[in-house]
Structure 1
Amino acid sequence: MDRSKEDLNITHLEDEDEEIIELPHVDNSHLIARFSRSLVGIMFNSEIRSTDALITFMPRQNIWDVEGRVHGIDLGNSRFQFDFDSEADLLKRWTPHVGETFPNNKIIWVRISCIPTHFWVEENFSTTGKCLGDVKAVDARVARVQVSVNADKRLKFSAKVKLESSEIVKIGLKYEKLGDDALPVDTSSMMKELVLSC
């Protein structure tokens, strides 16, 4: 087992051993009402982007143009919340949500290259897509799959696929329209390969 996997296992064990603090039932309806004009999000590619900078610059003129009418909060773990003074300034309505997994997923199309065309069937692309995240759609005609990728995990740019003929083919994974919402990228992950059974 490599060192990073050991660290993850140790962290996981430590999390299991931690005492869970149970919070009492309280009336928080006033807080839910207060945050009804909020936007909650996650900063993708947080290793090179700053949540503090996002909170500072997004309200400014020529970006959102709501400076002085919105208040940003750093929620930790690359998550943020903007509380808008006015309904008209709100971009997306906030809804109460509990859980550390929100919002850390992005739905994106991934083109898959180097799979022989006689294996271009929905089941093969769906199986390949599952190594990236939760499969939402498959377009086998153009060798692509839509997946919900976890922003806390590194993107994969290649994989190895075992065909029915037992041949192993190295495939490429190209993320469409990733743009400025780039997810964490580890350049060494471009060299790592994953063996899949199709």
Structure 2
Amino acid sequence: MPRIWRLYSRVRGVALSQEKFQFIFKSEDDLNEVLKTGVWTQDDWCVVMDKWVEKPPDDYLMFLPIWIRLRNIPVNYYTEATIRDIAKCVGKVLTVELELEKSQSQDYVMVRVLLDVRNPLRNSKEVQLPDGDLVSISFDYERVRKRCFLCQRLTHEKNMCPFNQVDFGNVSTEVI
């Protein structure tokens, strides 16, 4: 990771287990810059990082600040309140990048959320408009490469999915 961060001699890593590492930074500024980026990857898997705490809570390293793109929002509903309401189904909304005074040059709105990595990623959300029409708002996750294609979680691959139960007696597969 220090090579990816371009902090060659300013940080060192210690393996705590096969899945957990501790990085010791020489500078608080370097640490904050790495954390500000949000999602880092190793072998295309997301890496959850946070500042070290002596007595971590039970949900320590279970949340990932991540940017998502919300697409297909009807133009009449481009309000921060509406966008926050839609994005909260993905995670706690941290930031909405929306400047209504400027022309919208993209077909999406950027939202930064705090994603609980124990939950599956959502690809879309159906929203009912006041006139009764349904619209599907799609979500694109920035810098997320790998995920389980069965349960949509970031924690494992399809062949290791704990939510996939195969009954070899009649060769059926059940996805929960």
TM-score (normalised: structure 1): 0.49
Identity rate, percent = 21
* RMSD, aligned CA: 3.3
1:82 aligns with 2:26: no
Alignment match, 1:120: 78
The structure with more radius of gyration:
1
After superposition, the Cα gap between the structure-2 partners of 1:153 and 1:138, relative to the gap in structure 1 and judged at 3 Å, is: same
1:158 aligns with 2:124: yes
Q: String of CA shifts for 1:35-62, please: whole Å, max 9, x gaps.
A: xxxxxxxxxxxxxxxxxxxxxxx579x9
Amino acid at match of 2:26: A
Alignment match, 2:48: none
**TM-superposed deviation, 1:128:** 0.7
- Structure 2, unaligned runs of 5 or more: 32-50, 100-107, 153-176
Q: Is the 8 A contact 2:122 2:139 kept in 1?
A: yes
Separation (CA, whole Å) in 2 of partners of 1:163 and 1:116: 9
- Structure 1, unaligned runs of 5 or more: 1-57, 191-198
Q: Hey, which of these two has a bigger chunk of helix by percent?
A: 1
Q: Is the 8 A contact 2:13 2:21 kept in 1?
A: no
3-state SS of the aligned residue for 2:83? helix
TM-score (normalised: structure 2): 0.54
Q: String of CA shifts for 1:129-151, please: whole Å, max 9, x gaps.
A: 11000011223445232211112
3-state SS of the aligned residue for 2:16? strand
Amino acid at match of 1:71: V
3-state SS of the aligned residue for 1:187? coil
Q: String of CA shifts for 1:111-132, please: whole Å, max 9, x gaps.
A: 1111211111111111111100
Separation (CA, whole Å) in 2 of partners of 1:59 and 1:130: 33
Amino acid at match of 2:124: S
